[in-house]
A and B are shown apart, each in its own frame.
Chain A
Amino acid sequence: MATPKEPRPYIDPYLAGALLGVVLFLSFFITGGGLGASAGLSRIQTGILDWFAPIHVDRVAYFAEMAGGVRNPWLHYAIYMIAGTLVGGFASGLWNRRVKVETRKGPGMSTGVRWALAFAGGIIMAYGARFARGCTSGQALSGGAVLSVGSWAFMFSIFASGYALAWFVRRLWI
């Protein structure tokens, strides 16, 4: 057993997968939709933009759909889900003693570079997620479980491009 100060070990990946599968099933069973994160991010961003540039939001169709006119981008299930995800992650981190201000990175990478790359990766990832109409959770996981052809094609293309690029940037991680 871990000593009180050390973080507890991660659970078995298959057990985690089974639990995640049950959560995913419950999401479909109760709400009729799957899990997700990128829609919530998109709404948070649109909501913030709506504070500063409401007219611009009304003019760009993609934003107007969420926050145009009197529409409220915040009172939406995707926002509630993202809030739940943050609280759930925090609670599990607290219980397992993993809540700690720190930066995780590959050996030999400086913290500043890691932050910059995380930011850049976030931009690319979120751009791709909206392009594909969903991220790893909303499209690959949820669409995969309900056997959507597009979700499976999407899932394999993430892995394909990730593996294709990984070798070239191996210094970042190994």
Chain B
Amino acid sequence: MAPFDIAHLSGLPYALVFGAIGFGFGAVLEMAGFGDTRKLAAQFYLRDMTVLKTMFTAIAVAAVLIAFAAGIGVLDMSRVYVNPTYLWPGIVGGLIMGVGFVIGGFCPGTSLVAAATLKVDGIFFVLGGLTGVWLFGESVSSFETFWISSNMGRFTLPDWLGLSTGTTVLLVVLMAVLMFWGAEKIEARFSPAPAAAPRRRRHLAGAAVLAGAAVVVAAVGQLTPEQRWQRSAKLQAMVTDREIFVHPAEVVALRTDTSLQVDVLDLRSEHDFNLFHVGGARRVDPDALETPEELKRLRDRPPSSVVFLVSNGEDRALTTWRQLVTLGVGNLYVVEGGVNRWLELYPAPACVAERATTAAPEEPRWRLAYATGASLPSAWPELASSREFRVPCEDPVSHAPGEHGERWPAHAYAKRVKLQTKAAVKGGCG
């Protein structure tokens, strides 16, 4: 499923992929006349609406194609980079750019094309652009708090409007067509040399095709999480190959890594959670994780963070893992064997915990004498000081393995956690 894993390509093919995309980009801009500053500036004097027409056609066409590819399951949107919304810095940046546009007569992309066709003003603009990015890099630290403010993460129009992707795309297309109609009227009124209208029929046909395609996209809809799961052999293989099940000792080791943010989400009942839980774990209802706010928080976590799901066994955590992963959450793992296994590897003192005779996989295998929460050494195996935790009942036997600040026995495990940045390619803004 696209997008492809091009980060694994070696140097030259990797460069050629992006070079080819850039080539198409530059060629189309040039063909449209965007290398001519007068054509761009005329947009702001209502004499030539080419910029608006070309830009919104491109957005509408690409939005339809992307939503269609995602809808039929050939494009995995969770791996596509969506520019994060930093609302106010974006608006201020846009206002600054509008000034630069009217004064300089280009935007960065079009100035490259102008420079490539040896327009001297384009070359000057590119040089100014290099100066501008330099000045920004030098000065950004002085207004960093504003620059990183109003970060809404991956926030899309469908999220905002509460509509489906298909419906939103249809609305975008209809808005674009309406704008084109207005643009044609404006040009007819203000353009010094109104173009002849032999193309009108073709334009109407094009608009009809685009709107029809958007209707199809809305009708096809987007894949449900279950369909996404069925279609993704890769995700299924991750479970059958047990790549997502992480040995408790690896969780413990990662918790000591200060360059990572490691979170443990406990999916059990409040009762079980109060009896014993991994130190620092947060108890959540599996259903509550799928609310839009929680999902957004999970999706927008920084790439240097890992989330572990834990239940008494593995089954319940696995079910939740499946749902969250198909909803686009990354860096998500399941604690192998759950809390039952955890307490086997990092046993609680015998006076507190007693092994149940029989237990179903998702039942607690240890019967705890009282609600220990995270107060037992077993909850914090990574802390040497946890060995000093007071246990109300003095039990010399259970204290034995690490009585004098000794660590827990070192458990051998196969490393499973592979941190992945959400999108390897961030488009032209990365």
B125 an interface residue at 8 Å Cβ cutoff? Answer: yes
Q: Which of B16, B26, B427, B430 has the most CB of A within 10 A?
A: B427
B233 an interface residue at 8 Å Cβ cutoff? Answer: no
- Give the interface of A toward B (CB within 8 A): 10-14, 16-42, 44-46, 48-49, 60-63, 75, 77-78, 80-93, 96, 98-106, 111, 114-166, 169-170, 172-174
Measured CB to CB, the nearest residue on chain B to A48 is B130
B58 an interface residue at 8 Å Cβ cutoff? Answer: yes
For the complex, give the distance between the alpha carbons of A30 and B199 in Å.
33
Given contacts A14-B206, A131-B92, A142-B428, contact A85 B26 (CB under 8 A): yes
Q: Per a CB cutoff under 8 Å, which of B106, B111, B127, B158 touches A147?
A: B158
Q: A residues within 8 A CB of B79? A: 32
Q: A residues within 8 A CB of B206? A: 14, 18
Measured CB to CB, the nearest residue on chain A to B153 is A150
Would A121 and B101 count as touching, CB distance under 8 A? Answer: yes
Q: A residues within 8 A CB of B244? A: none
Minimal beta-carbon separation of B284 from chain A (angstroms)? 27
For the complex, give the distance between the alpha carbons of A137 and B85 in Å.
16
Which one of B36-44, B272-280, B309-317 is at the A interface? B36-44
Main secondary structure of the interface of A (DSSP, over half): helix
Would A173 and B38 count as touching, CB distance under 8 A? Answer: yes
Measured CB to CB, the nearest residue on chain B to A135 is B108
B292 an interface residue at 8 Å Cβ cutoff? Answer: no
Q: How many residues of B are in contact with the other chain, CB < 8 A?
A: 138
For the complex, give the distance between the alpha carbons of A46 and B137 in Å.
9
Q: Which of B29, B135, B165 has the most CB of A within 10 A?
A: B29
Q: B residues within 8 A CB of A82? A: 22, 112
Q: A residues within 8 A CB of B168? A: 147
Would A120 and B121 count as touching, CB distance under 8 A? Answer: no
Would A21 and B429 count as touching, CB distance under 8 A? Answer: no
For the complex, give the distance between the alpha carbons of A35 and B156 in Å.
18
Minimal beta-carbon separation of A141 from chain B (angstroms)? 6
- Give the interface of B toward A (CB within 8 A): 2-4, 6, 11, 14-33, 35-39, 41-45, 47, 49-50, 53-63, 65-66, 69, 75, 79-87, 89-122, 124-138, 140-141, 147, 152, 154-160, 165, 168-169, 172, 180, 199, 203, 206, 423-430
Would A17 and B100 count as touching, CB distance under 8 A? Answer: no
For the complex, give the distance between the alpha carbons of A48 and B134 in Å.
10
Would B82 and A143 count as touching, CB distance under 8 A? Answer: yes
Q: B residues within 8 A CB of A19? A: 24, 28, 31
Given contacts A125-B107, A135-B109, contact A154 B21 (CB under 8 A): no
Would B132 and A123 count as touching, CB distance under 8 A? Answer: yes
Would B156 and A118 count as touching, CB distance under 8 A? Answer: no
Would A25 and B137 count as touching, CB distance under 8 A? Answer: no
Given contacts A132-B97, A146-B83, contact A20 B121 (CB under 8 A): no
Given contacts A85-B113, A133-B90, A134-B83, contact A157 B156 (CB under 8 A): no
Q: A residues within 8 A CB of B31? A: 10-11, 16, 19, 92, 96
Would A103 and B119 count as touching, CB distance under 8 A? Answer: yes
Would A30 and B107 count as touching, CB distance under 8 A? Answer: no
Given contacts A85-B22, A135-B107, contact A98 B35 (CB under 8 A): yes
Measured CB to CB, the nearest residue on chain B to A88 is B26
Given contacts A36-B428, A134-B83, contact A149 B98 (CB under 8 A): no
Would B98 and A33 count as touching, CB distance under 8 A? Answer: no
Would B26 and A18 count as touching, CB distance under 8 A? Answer: no
Q: A residues within 8 A CB of B45? A: 166, 170, 173-174
For the complex, give the distance between the alpha carbons of A163 and B105 in Å.
13
- A-B interface, 5 closest residue pairs, ranked by CB to CB distance from nearest: A36-B428, A121-B104, A122-B128, A84-B22, A17-B57
For the complex, give the distance between the alpha carbons of A22 and B59 in Å.
10
For the complex, give the distance between the alpha carbons of A86 and B22 in Å.
8
For the complex, give the distance between the alpha carbons of A142 and B108 in Å.
14
Minimal beta-carbon separation of B53 from chain A (angstroms)? 4
For the complex, give the distance between the alpha carbons of A156 and B21 in Å.
26
Q: A residues within 8 A CB of B96? A: 124-125, 127-128, 131-132, 161
Given contacts A14-B180, A103-B121, A158-B101, contact A125 B132 (CB under 8 A): yes
Would A104 and B428 count as touching, CB distance under 8 A? Answer: no
Would A63 and B11 count as touching, CB distance under 8 A? Answer: no
Q: B residues within 8 A CB of A40? A: 428
For the complex, give the distance between the alpha carbons of A137 and B101 in Å.
13
Q: Which of B27, B42, B56, B91 has the most CB of A within 10 A?
A: B27
Measured CB to CB, the nearest residue on chain B to A174 is B45
Would A134 and B50 count as touching, CB distance under 8 A? Answer: no
Q: Per a CB cutoff under 8 Å, which of A114, A138, A147, A152 touches B429?
A: A138
Measured CB to CB, the nearest residue on chain A to B147 is A131
Q: A residues within 8 A CB of B85? A: 148-151, 153
Q: B residues within 8 A CB of A135? A: 97, 107-109, 428-429
